[in-house]
Amino acid sequence: FYERLEELGARWERGMREAASGSAVPVTVNRVGSMVSLFFASGPVRDFASAAASDAELFKDFFWHMLSRGVYLAPSQYEAGFISLAHSEEEIDRTVEAAAEWFAGRRA
């Protein structure tokens, strides 16, 4: 059970990092097991101050893009996402593809 959640969480993290690579948008990915967060910040996000320094307007744009692609994220950058065993690798891959579309429009 926990090994599978770790695999899915790692797949999400890897995919998001790859989707953001080459983008002009600074991205920080936080993950503990199957609990995931994406921040538009150039440094580590470890507390409220560093989370508050991330770009909320970019997150809003990202959120609406993902929603338009059928990916339901928490509507605030201060909330974590949770991957469950109900999620498949295909769903994680579709999530990453939708994110890659958004990042592709923001290349350096």
The model carries a pTM of: 0.91
Whole-angstrom Cα distance, residue 54 to residue 3? 31
Q: What is the mean pLDDT of residues 43-55?
A: 95
Assess whether pLDDT exceeds 80 at residue 107: no
pLDDT, position 106: 87
The answer to whether 94 and 71 have CB atoms below 8 angstroms apart is yes
DSSP string, 44-57: ---SHHHHHTS-HH
Assess whether pLDDT exceeds 80 at residue 108: no
Query: Which one is predicted more confidently, 107 or 78?
Result: 78
